[in-house]
Amino acid sequence: MTGPRITIIGSALSGNKGASAMLEAAIQSLGERLDDPRFTLLSMYPREDAAQNPYPNLEILPANPRQLGVTINTVALAYRVLPFLRGTLRRHSRVIRALAESSVLLDQGGITFTDGREKFLLYNVASILPALNTRTPVFKCAQAVGPFQNPINRWASRTFLPKAATVVTRGRITHEYAEGLGLTNLVAGADYAFSLELEGTESEQVSRHLDLSFFDEDVVGVCPSVVLQKKVDARGGDYAGQIVDFIAHVRAQGKRVLLLPHSVRTGTDKTHNNDLPLCREIHSRLTLGDDLLFVDRELSSQQLRYLIGQCSFFVASRFHAMVSSLAMAVPTLVIGWSHKYREVLEMFELEEWAFGHDMLTLEYLVERFEALEDARPVVERKLDERLPVVKARSIEQAELIAQVVRTHQ
């Protein structure tokens, strides 16, 4: 008898390593709770994900936005309304077969059904609609949703979010938004990536590419984001220039700097889920020296977490780089664009260490970083105290998912 089948969407192994961290945390934690589970990833980048897939029990199927929005959803609708064709549809569509055989669909989209991102709303719906049509329970892993002031987003959220078996909220602000919508299928949780465990071989793996003696002294990690760059530059700012100047300032104070892209797509200059071109631009504008280490390559989510954990401080613009930094108990300063950053820091009573991109100037960034340095003992104490609680809230998802799987096997 084969083990339960679980289909996952909204994650990846390549590109955005936050998505990879959530995916791998799910595979790890559910593998510990279920007998021989099989996973299917509906992938936006199937070729790249397949090339980086180390899991023999993970199948990767193509599901880019066009395939998902047109082909997969059309076939799933036919599966629902034309029961006499179900056998044929399962034989001819690997995605439909995966969904129909799965005990649950895990939606790991990091932020969905939120005002200001209406261009992604159709994808948010299309990600879960096929499972609804195959009668596969939908479990929305911890993510940010809301606010819901936009009428279109509010309608879509009220229509589709109640159809999920469970919606795990990623923090207080999201939970309040969702409660205000009248949702009753809510569980207050924490990001699944907090549950990602290191294997113990990351030091050896990373040392093949980087000299880890760089971390013998205090290191400030800096993780830029092309998403922030676009938002800052759209209002006439110079995000890359401000990060360059900040790094120069930190180095002038006698500290070492790690420049680390957290979303990387190897072999392309396209910037979707790819911070490497931005980091290369920043690096090209910096003076080279022994006090600067640039990671000019794609690493795994676990290797990145290990590296981040070697830092004394971390300045993040990528959400899951922040999660990895907090998970490794590193004092972290966050430049964000959504409530999703602050609500996670709230769990550690550290929300003061996040600010919006609209406040970004070199002077303010330096001021907040120097304040973080001064507050280091207090921040480290709060991280040590709260991290076990946050990790417990994160891993609770695995228990809930396992319950759904056992019920629907």
User: In sequence order, what E strands does 267-361 have?
Assistant: 292-294, 313-316, 332-336, 354-356
Task: Taking residues 78-82, report their average pLDDT.
Answer: 98
Residue 1 pLDDT more than 60?
A: no
For the stretch 345-366, pLDDT in tens is 999 999 999 999 999 999 999 9
The β-bridge relationship of strands 166-169 and 5-9 is unpaired
pLDDT, position 2: 82
Using a 10 angstrom Cβ sphere, with 0-12 exposed, 13-18 middle and 19 or more buried, the burial of residue 82 is exposed
For the stretch 113-138, pLDDT in tens is 999 888 899 999 999 999 999 999 99
Element of type H or E holding 8: strand 5-9
Residue 211 pLDDT more than 70?
A: yes
Task: Find the angle CA(118)-CA(120)-CA(124) to the nearest 5 degrees.
Answer: 110
Domains of the chain: 5-196+391-408 (3.40.50.2000), 202-330+332-374 (3.40.50.2000)
Q: What is the band of 319 on the pLDDT scale with cuts at 50, 70, 90?
A: very high
Using a 10 angstrom Cβ sphere, with 0-12 exposed, 13-18 middle and 19 or more buried, the burial of residue 275 is buried
Q: For residue 161, list its beta bridge partners.
A: none
Residue 138 near residue 164 (C-beta atoms within 8 A): yes
pLDDT, position 44: 95
For the stretch 326-342, pLDDT in tens is 999 999 999 999 999 99
pLDDT, position 86: 98
Position 24, amino acid: E
Residue 322 pLDDT more than 90?
A: yes
Position 151, amino acid: P
pLDDT, position 386: 98
Residue 269 pLDDT more than 90?
A: no
State the CB neighbour count (10 A cutoff) for residue 358.
10
Q: What is the mean pLDDT of the chain?
A: 96
Residue 129 near residue 121 (C-beta atoms within 8 A): no
Residue 111 pLDDT more than 60?
A: yes
Q: What is the pTM of this model?
A: 0.96
Q: For residue 259, list its beta bridge partners.
A: 222, 294
For the stretch 149-159, pLDDT in tens is 999 999 999 99
State the CB neighbour count (10 A cutoff) for residue 36.
10
pLDDT, position 21: 98
The tokens for 137 are 């329970």
Task: Taking residues 77-95, report their average pLDDT.
Answer: 98
Q: Which residue has the higher pLDDT, 283 or 266?
A: 283
Q: How far apart are CA 335 and CA 402, in angstroms?
A: 35
Among residues 315, 271, 257, 321, the alpha carbon closest in space to that of 19 is found at: 321
pLDDT, position 273: 87
Among residues 97, 92, 86, the alpha carbon closest in space to that of 38 is found at: 97
Q: What is the band of 110 on the pLDDT scale with cuts at 50, 70, 90?
A: confident
The tokens for 4 are 């339960």
